Structure 1
Amino acid sequence: MLGRTFIHLPGVGPKSESSLWNAGIRTWEDFLCAPKPPVSAAKAALLRPELERSAEALALGDADWFAARLRSGNAWRLLPHFLPEAGYLDIETDGEAFPTVTAVALYHKGRLRSYVHGRNMEELHEDLAGVKLLVTFNGKCFDIPVLERVLGVRAPKAHVDLRFVLKSLGVGGGLKACEKRYGLSRRELDGVDGWGAVVLWREWERHGDERVMDTLLAYNAADVLSLEVLLAHALGDLLAATPFGAELTPPVPPMAANPFQPDPEVVEKVRAACALHHF
């Protein structure tokens, strides 16, 4: 999709881009090879070098270069090209005003990594540095600012926040509501929400029960593993609104298996705490 995107260029908006597509200019190569592109001579002279720089950045796999030129609402254009490089991230905190990051899950290239405060959180820096494109749910408002402020982590500039992507498609609400919209189930973890993660951490700090930690990590992992599936659904819907939907839409993958097993007894207690918290 990036090689067919013109909206990152100076002076090109959604209408201008659609006009180019409708005029048969479907790719950068089409524009660069056209003797007389369907724009003014002055604008063509402005756009040609920008398209040449775009081609160089794409050849180098420089997702950040495009992220700096695409508005947030169009960051999804990065996805078809950089999807194999995408890293899906979610954090949990202790719920305080000045929070401790208690757990982080990062799903990247088919591997789930979990990081826990006091255990291995320092490994997140190096692992996140290997991610070209970051995918979160509400990460631009919460996860990334917290990671940067509390842990000094530097996140990729290329960042797609699924909360806003799905909202643009008319799918609103929190992550669990979006999952239900697309038929995804948390199974054993249904009824556990972000407050439940706070309760689990506090319980872990009091008693050090590994069943509690496994349940927390299972919850954190579930937040991340659903993102890949939601992203595929959203990408299909977004591409359907372009002339390239049938050609570029990726298949929806099955949700990867959660490597952590929540403890049923612990889950029941947390569900009760969540229900009481929201009463």
Structure 2
Amino acid sequence: MSLSVKHDCSVREHEQVRPSKTVSTVALSLTRVYVENCFLGAEGVGQTIEQRLWSQGITHWERFEPTVDGVGQTRTERIESFIDAGERALDRGNVEFFDQRFPDGCRWRLYESFRDQACFFDIETTGLDHQTSVVTTVTLHQNGDTHTLVRGDDLTDENLRAAFEDAGLLVTFNGARFDVPFLESSFDVSLDHPHIDLMPTARQVGLSGGLSEVERALGIGRDLPDVDGREAVRLWHEHERGVDGALDRLVEYNREDTVNMVPVLESLVERLDDQTFPEQP
């Protein structure tokens, strides 16, 4: 079974991720935070200083002036240096520049500016311990395209590396603790990418629990509400025994987990935007 066949194996077509917005240097969406709105990447600038700048109407790099009140000469020079370097990084599509400078709780701010590089992915395994369990399926979703790799077929070191080749920004749910280390310990692949983990991001807006619980809280539905991680393990073992349809159902579940992270992130970013970025006149 080839990769292209698996893409169509009884799995419905999912709605595509919205294409990247065309953004002018100043006339940005007033309800979305882009990296060009952010100043906390500058040395010595935290969210308090950033909010002070925003409150004065300095909500974009091009609105920053050396004469701004309450910042000081040294910090002003650092902000100007950050803006100069940030513009070059943005032109190059360099997500890492901002990932290295933004605090952990602000990585969600990377999404709007780099959504075309965002790779949503999820894995299914036979257990929680990588030493005694194996990865059964891996699904990646980027720019509207969804790919699933299956153990025993095309889930190989080479194919995994190729699948992540264009990923500049990883998006997972609890992937920092589970999916990423599990894959890296099971395959010859490095996933040292900028990473938005939706589990701690959801907690920033008061949502806890697993992916399904967060989806329900956000009003996001599922086609397979009766399938969970334990059922996914059972489906894999049924597939190994030759049960017809078990693999298709497992792949569909894995794909739904992955693709549903798109509206989850969109909803979380919208809520975080509302509580972070000031309304514009």
- Provide the aligned length of Structure 1 versus Structure 2: 243
Q: Are 2:231 and 1:222 aligned?
A: no
Instruction: Give the alignment partner of residue 28 of structure 1, picking from 45, 50, 61.
Output: 61
* Pair 1:246–1:237, CA change in 2 (3 A): farther
Partner of 1:259: none
Structure 1, residues 182-239: CA drift from partner, whole Å, max 9, x if none? 222223x22221111111112222x133411101101101101110111111111111
5+ residue gaps, structure 2: 1-33
Q: Which of these residues, 139, 150, 158, is aligned with residue 105 of structure 1? A: 139
CA positional deviation for 1:244: 5.4
1:118 counterpart (152, 173, 192): 152
| 1:60-209 aligned within 5 A | 60-95=92-127, 97=129, 98=131, 99-122=133-156, 123-155=159-191, 157-187=193-223, 189-205=224-240, 207-209=241-243
TM-score in terms of structure 1 length: 0.82
Unaligned runs of 5+ in 1: 248-279
Pick closer, same or farther for the CA change 1:211–1:65 going to 2, 3 Å. Answer: same
2:128 & 2:259 partners in 1: Cα distance?
26
CA shift in 2, pair 1:35/1:246, >3 Å: closer
C-alpha distance in structure 2 between counterparts of 1:30 and 1:118, whole Å? 55
Residues 1:96 and 1:230: Cα distance change in structure 2 (over 3 Å)? closer
* C-alpha distance after superposition, 1:21-78 (max 9, x if no partner): 11222112222xx141331112212322222111110111101221122222100010
1:157: how far off? 2.0
More helix by share: 1
Percentage of pairs with the same residue: 33
Equivalent position of 2:273 in the other structure: 239
Q: RMSD of the alignment, in Å?
A: 1.7
The 1:239–1:197 alpha-carbon spacing in structure 2 relative to 1, beyond 3 Å, is same
CA contact under 8 A between 2:175 and 2:197: conserved in structure 1? yes
Q: Is 1:13 aligned to 2:49, yes or no?
A: no
Higher deviation after alignment, 209-218 or 138-147: 209-218
Q: Distance in 1 between matches of 2:100 and 2:155?
A: 28
User: Which residue is equivalent to 1:253?
Assistant: none
Distance of aligned partners of 1:3 and 1:113 in 2 relative to their CA distance in 1, 3 Å threshold: same
Name the CA distance, whole Å, in 2 between partners of 1:208 and 1:67: 45
Per the normalisation by structure 2, the TM-score is 0.82
- Answer whether contact 2:218 2:264 (CA < 8 A) is retained: yes
C-alpha deviation, 1:18, in angstroms: 0.1
